Amino acid sequence: MSQAALVIEDTDPYLESEVVSEMLKQLRALDTYDTYEGWSEAKIIDPLVLTKERKREIPIVGDPDETTLARVKAYYNSIASLIEKKSGLMAVPVINITHEGFGRAFILVGKLIVVDKTLRDVHRFGFPSLEDLTTKTDVAIEKALGLIAQFREVAEA
């Protein structure tokens, strides 16, 4: 996939969202070789945005590379971190992905599963826009917080 042109502008209002800010923290935390040193926030988050044109460049069948797997981990780590911040309870992401790009992602709070996502075609992991990333993540977090409120005793176990 060619990354010559960025699809995210430095002025994109969603760069300031809580979800994207946490995602940037997680991506930087997983960057052990300082690849992102000196990069703008837009350039770091840009590969997560898969426009129709970008998606067309990715084969339908393929194995995920380490960079893509790191992005998936960073995404679920950021969701867990935001759930933890908003609920006051420790949230733990559990991700299992086969070499073919299939698997599951869970986020556990105590003994309660608050996020359960089946992962398919992980080599094509991304969102059509930062707005879509923010919206879908906010919905997942709100559902998780609702489950925590409903089953607080299990979440605290």
What is the spatial distance between Cα 126 and Cα 109, in angstroms, rounded to a whole number? 25
What is the spatial distance between Cα 119 and Cα 109, in angstroms, rounded to a whole number? 20
What are the tens digits of pLDDT across the range 72-108? 999 999 999 999 999 999 999 999 999 999 999 999 9
What are the tens digits of pLDDT across the range 98-147? 999 999 999 999 999 999 999 999 998 999 999 999 999 999 999 999 99
Q: How many Cβ atoms sit within 10 Å of the Cβ of residue 56?
A: 11
Q: Indicate whether this model's pTM tops 0.85.
A: yes
Q: What are the boundaries of each domain within the chain? A: 13-155
Q: Which CATH class is domain 13-155?
A: mainly alpha
